[in-house]
Structure 1
Amino acid sequence: MFKRRTSRVRQRRQVKVLRASVMSPRIFWHDFRRAVFSLIRYTLLAALIVAAGWGIWLGVQKGLLKNDEFRIQHLVLNDNPAIDEIRLLEVTGIDLSGSLFDCDPDKIRASLVALPEISNASVTREFPGDLVIRVKAREPFLWIACEQLGVPPRGRDRGLMIDRAGRLFPCPEGDFDSALDLPVMELRNGGEALVPGEKLVNTDFDRLLRLYRVAEEMLPEASGWIDSIRLHKDWGCVLTTRDGIEATFGHGDLERQMGDLLAAMEHAREKGDRIATIVLVGRRNQPVTFHEVAPPRAIPVEEAQLQPEPESAGQADLRQLLER
């Protein structure tokens, strides 16, 4: 058979390359001098770069870092209940005798925000010598108590607080007096651990909070009127007021139950009674007990001492006759 011709012709060429290395003393000396001169040139260039860097570093040290003009002259901290100047230095490690350049704003802010009682912070360096720090403390909303976790009921001195965002934190010393008027949420169990700085995740708290929200909507002064709220078995909550009322609520229809409580209190006040306990679960039958009202005390009046009447003439004669 005949092979079909194509227009492409493949040609194989073999190219042989001859490499020859020629060496002589003169060529060796020339290459050696060129290598030495290159090494010296690069060494001098590196030395110049190092010297320039050293000079710049000394200039920065002398002109900025060790310059008395840039030392910390004023530490400005905004007025807040969470942290004072002494604790600020302990937490952040700021050296008051150091330079403003030694202060890293990001690190200082991170150390402040890590505190559970602080929600936000800002740090700025205002040259030549002012370090300005502004912190925002968490606002107390409610007390949290859980006996199983070592926080006793009504233990406002050792309890944790929670803000409206649901974050736990220890009560700042500057807020302690005003926070004493806030209600206590008494948890039956801890659920997840109560960790300061973390968000509270607890089913008991969610139920108690729903009741408190309703009280806030219907009674403007609820925060100062309610002393504590705790769960009652599995079907309700017990709300205790600061004037000694224990009101038992179911978990549903809270608006109606709160309205019944306020109406019952008003009715008892008009009659001069004080409610002790009331169960608001039912719509019609709502058992109520009252505090004993002490009867008015009688003020003892000293009896008037009667003056003896003067004797008549006949009575005097009869007395003398009897005395014989």
Structure 2
Amino acid sequence: MTPSAQKPEPEGRVADAVRGNWVDRLAPEATRPYLRLSRADRPIGTWLLLLPCWWGLALAAAVDGWRPADLWIAAGCALGAWLMRGAGCTWNDITDREFDASVARTRSRPIPSGQVTVRQAVVWMVAQTVLAGMILLTFGPVAILLGISSLGIVAVYPFAKRFTWWPQAVLGLAFNWGVIVAWSAHTGTWPGLPAWLLYAAGIAWTLFYDTIYAHQDKEDDVLIGVKSTARLFGAETGKWLARFLVAAVSLMAVAVLLALAPTAQVLRLVVGLAAAWALGWHLYWQVSRLDIDNPESCLALFRKNRDGGLLAALFLAVAGFL
């Protein structure tokens, strides 16, 4: 196909959005800038926020069995993840609007490109947060308190890259808090050690995938003075990713052992441990194909983490039915 015959890009399309996404094709034109603020055209972030929720719910259910109410917890986590990811990304774009205007990959985002004003973005962020809060109110008092307590981390994250070389760790603290909330929504109690270890496994996983993601912007980050683990690790990135891989797998395996060994159900324990093995295999597959100097490859591998997280969630969920 010649360049002149190629289909033109949709107006306002964000540079790193999935081509042919539903926002660009199907959403009413007036809603597109707001959906782009929420990254609805890039669903991987919602998956990465949701999957730790399902991990926590599934491991809790593996201890004492699935309940009818867990269907709503799983669905509520999905809706809440979409809304809170949208609110968080909107907040991130508000605080980073000057940085985004200086980076080729992000200058097409709604605020720096002029599709949305800062005031409109603030209203949209508040609306998403309120709706997510309404879902959280159905989860029980302990889960509600835990969910509210995560807002401080969410608020700090966009500024982390300005004062620490480890903003990916701050993202991990925020993105994996769903483990704790979903565990407590199922049990109705404060999370025990297995939940916290699973949370830590998720943080190691986030360090893994977001370091890969950050390699897309490392040259621009140098120019504008933004810090990241990609810049910090440089040529040693592969070694650090291997460490995060081992940490994620080990912490998840110990969490499963502590949670399920007391049940004396050997098959349940074996299937639960398979969750850690599946995640580790997928992360190893990514490391074996990583080229940190190829932005397209980094983005593609980053998006593949949905599959690794889903594999772990599937094994944990099956363990709850055994």
TM-score for both structures, normalised by structure 2: 0.21
Bigger Cα Rg: 1
TM-score for both structures, normalised by structure 1: 0.21
Q: Which has the higher contact order (CA 8 A, sep 6+)?
A: 2
